[in-house]
């Protein structure tokens, strides 16, 4: 359910109701038309086959595909507490994903705590865009490492590339495949965070997560060489 804050015109309410549905239909038709190849998917499948939850770590550049890939799984994702976040949370719900809400101005700490509580309470999977919400692009922040430390979830890094695609001029260089494009989604080996990891270990693992995501992106792009 979308919670609207403050006074909204009928036009705004119609948009809030319709935009998530239109995006869901658009993305479903778009990605169904694409030819998708997975590289290193055994790094994800080893946990899924055993019914074990994971923390997926992705990049802002490729976030448009991730809800489709993880549709109808038992999972929670981080979403801003802003009005735009209401739209995103409703859209995630259409994919069968729950949302942990938090403010980017407060560093997302409240949403991270909500995610940790959700995972520990229901043993569901979690999804994090690790270089969001404002970058730097491709540089992982601490959130995924802290969540993994507090929940015991393995972090599975991955990202994708496509040809042909449209690339936007935003800070993250968001990409959207064109219909019937070829897509390559590359995964890297899982990262495990010790329960007793101190700040130095958290920082070292953050740097390693950044490196693995960069390798995943390079692998996906190299498939088109």
Residue-wise pLDDT tens digits, 79-90: 877 666 778 888
Whether 5 is in a domain gets the answer no
What average pLDDT does the segment 6-34 reach? 82
User: Does some domain include residue 58?
Assistant: yes
Where are the extended beta strands (E) located within 103-154? 125-129
The mean pLDDT of 159-183, rounded to a whole number, is 96
Give domain status of residue 4, yes or no. Answer: no
pLDDT per residue as tens digits for the range 185-225: 999 999 999 999 999 999 999 999 999 999 999 999 999 98
Q: How far apart are CA 217 and CA 225, in angstroms?
A: 13
- CATH of residue 206: 3.40.1130
- The answer to whether position 73 is within a domain reads yes
Q: How many domains does the chain have?
A: 1
**Does residue 3 fall inside a structural domain?**
no
Look at residue 3 in the predicted model and tell me its pLDDT.
44
Range of weakest confidence among 5-14, 23-32, 65-74, 182-191:
5-14
Q: Return the percentage of the chain with pLDDT > 90, whole number.
A: 76
| 212 inside domain | yes
Cβ neighbours of residue 179 under 8 Å, at least 6 residues apart?
Answer: 29, 30, 33, 34
Which of 23-27, 89-93, 99-103, 197-201 is modeled with the greatest confidence? Answer: 197-201
64: containing domain = 10-222
């Amino acid at each position: 359910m979308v919670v609207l804050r403050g006074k909204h015109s009928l036009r705004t309410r119609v948009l809030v109701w319709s935009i998530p549905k239109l995006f869901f239909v658009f993305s479903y038709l778009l990605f169904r038309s694409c030819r998708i190849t997975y590289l290193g998917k055994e790094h994800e499948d080893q946990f899924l086959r055993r019914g074990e939850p994971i923390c997926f770590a992705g990049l802002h550049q490729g976030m448009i595909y991730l809800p489709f890939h993880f549709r109808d799984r038992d999972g929670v994702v981080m979403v801003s507490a802003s009005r735009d976040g209401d739209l995103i949370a409703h859209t995630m719900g259409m994919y069968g994903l729950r949302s942990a809400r938090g403010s980017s101005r407060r560093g997302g700490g409240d949403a991270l705590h909500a995610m940790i509580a959700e995972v520990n309470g229901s043993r569901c999977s979690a999804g994090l865009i690790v270089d969001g919400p404002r970058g730097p692009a491709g540089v992982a922040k601490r959130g995924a490492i802290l969540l993994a430390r507090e929940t015991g979830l393995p972090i599975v890094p991955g990202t994708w590339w496509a040809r042909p695609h449209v690339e936007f001029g935003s800070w993250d260089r968001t990409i959207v495949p064109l219909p019937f494009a070829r897509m390559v989604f590359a995964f890297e080996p899982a990262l495990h965070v010790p329960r007793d990891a101190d700040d130095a270990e958290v920082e070292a693992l953050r740097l390693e997560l950044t490196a693995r995501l960069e390798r995943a992106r390079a692998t996906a792009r190299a498939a088109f060489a």
